[in-house]
Amino acid sequence: MKLFEYEAKNILSAYGIPTPKGELATSVDQARKIAEKLRPPLVVKAQVLVAGRGKAGGILFADSLAKVKKVAEKLLKMEIKGIPVKSIWIEEKIEIKKELYFGITTDRLNKSYVAIASSIGGMDIEEIAEKHPEKIIKFLINPKMGLRSFHARQIARKMGYEGSQLNAIGKIFERLYKINIDYDAELIEMNPIVETAEGKFVAADARIIIDDNALFRHPQYKKRFFESESELFPQEIEAMKNNLAYVKLEGNIGVIGNGAGLVMATLDTIQLYGGKPANFLDVGGGASAEKIAAALKIVLSDPDVKTLFINILGGITRCDEVAKGILEAKKKIEVTKPMVIRLVGTNEEEGKRILTEVGIPVLDSMEEAAEKVVEISRKGGL
């Protein structure tokens, strides 16, 4: 889960990492009052949960109160990558001598955290790696030991610092690692962390992505999954409410299956026959009729879906329960889109009987079913 920049900066500040003074505004009037308090020159930043705000015109500078008002009006009417700007962060402008990068993420191959640093900041780390690979510093962090003071100083020294500056930026690195652990971050970064004209270090921008699986430890942020400011698709939100695994894709064939491996195989088979899946949805093992009905409702709520492929291999999931769920969903919502169903396994015959009695055909072969659903989708779901 992504945090807004202002949330990330408030966390950094609470852990003793210097950040520019700033406040959040949701209206032009609030922006004016904040500007009067902070006094220009100021930086006004759109608060959206997407990367690349600066390139999209979402970060603007203002050297007067009148300019702050004008900039605030502009940003609060903007959309960045299709997301409307509902709030702006107004902060003091820092006199920058040099932009740096420091971040921490997980290195799954080495089963450890990894700190990534660079004496060049202000651009995507991928861009730095491509244009200036020699400037990238990687340091594997043993999770049992953590990032110690001597580790942080070692990284700072490789970035070209010494003396009091080395100690100062080293402490910032240590504190960022502490936040990383406390907030179960998949990624935490300061891009850029800047060296000021006075030789101090300030996190000019900050980003934190919390591991979704750890949100039970952070209820203050979990709430946002079910709010309008979430970066998730509506279908993903509904899936989370119903404890379903759902991922939005770019095709037009809705997919429901039981078991991640089976659903992945279903996606591959659809693509083998030239189709494009619209989603990944795994109802899991032992899915009840209610859960199947919820899955159908979620997938069919996507306007991109033209036809639906339900692929069930009954083990602990009973085929008759799946069939009942399909009928339950058809009663609750008006299902007008064609469905191709493959049912094999526990209580298979009963499941097929329930569906065929109401005129819904059921197939045995996944390949045959995939080929059929692709054929239907090519005809526009007719």
User: Distance of alpha carbon 218 from its chain centroid, rounded?
Assistant: 16
Give the dihedral of Cα atoms 365, 370, 371, 372; nearest 10 deg: 90
Dist CA 18 CA 9 (whole Å): 9
Q: Among 7, 99, 186, 189, which one carries the catalytic annotation?
A: 189
Angle at 75 between CA 63 and CA 88, to 5 degrees: 80
Identify the segments of the chain with pLDDT beneath 50.
none
Could you tell me which residues come within 8 angstroms of residue 355 by beta carbon, excluding any fewer than 6 positions away?
Answer: 323, 326, 327, 341, 343, 361, 362
- Please name the residue ranges forming H helices in the chain: 5-14, 28-38, 65-75, 125-131, 149-158, 163-182, 219-222, 234-241, 260-272, 289-300, 319-332, 348-356, 366-378
Dist CA 203 CA 198 (whole Å): 15
**Confidence at residue 28, expressed as pLDDT on a 0 to 100 scale:** 96
Element (H, E) at 139: strand 136-141
Contact status, residue 31 vs residue 74, Cβ threshold 8 Å:
no
Could you tell me which residues come within 8 angstroms of residue 310 by beta carbon, excluding any fewer than 6 positions away?
Answer: 256, 257, 296, 322, 326, 339, 340, 341, 342
Dist CA 266 CA 280 (whole Å): 9
Between helix 234-241 and helix 289-300 the angle, nearest 10°, is 170
Contact status, residue 302 vs residue 255, Cβ threshold 8 Å:
no
Residue 352 token pair: 């097929």
Q: What is the pTM of this model?
A: 0.75
Q: Is 101 a catalytic residue?
A: yes
Q: Among 7, 91, 101, 186, which one carries the catalytic annotation?
A: 101
Element (H, E) at 363: strand 362-363
Contact status, residue 34 vs residue 28, Cβ threshold 8 Å:
no
Contact status, residue 206 vs residue 214, Cβ threshold 8 Å:
no
Domains in the chain, start-ordered, CATH in brackets? Answer: 21-92 (3.30.1490.20), 96-221 (3.30.470.20), 232-378 (3.40.50.261)
Dist CA 259 CA 284 (whole Å): 5
Q: Sign of torsion, CA 242 262 279 81?
A: positive
